[in-house]
Amino acid sequence: MAWITCCKCGVQFFINDEHNNRLYNNGDTFFCTNGHAQHYTYKETEIKKLQTEIKELQNSIYRKDERIKRLVESRDSFYRSINSYKGVITKLKRRLNGK
């Protein structure tokens, strides 16, 4: 059992541990015996902070993946250009040598 003191009126009341843990983890509202609304804020803000950090990291990974994709396409285009120029050079060499 968790012993809780109301932050408004100071009355003390019990909540079973399972319910208290759920309230703490979810940040849901609960009420004292006099009807004052309360909730745990530390865990809620910590969860939101971590969720925000996860989203930022996922966005960073997505942007880096897109950059890698563009660089690979650029590299492939460069190599195709080199190969086409090699073909032109070979053609000119053959023409000069009379073949």
Q: Where are the domains of the chain?
A: 2-40, 41-99
For the entire predicted model, the pTM comes to 0.47
| 71 vs 44: which has the higher pLDDT | 71
Q: What is the pLDDT of residue 42?
A: 65
Q: Flag whether pLDDT at 79 surpasses 90.
A: yes
Residues 6 or more apart whose Cβ sits within 8 Å of residue 23 = 15, 30, 39, 40
Tens of pLDDT, residues 7-43? 889 899 988 999 888 888 777 889 998 999 988 876 6
Task: Tally Cβ neighbours within 10 Å of residue 36.
Answer: 13
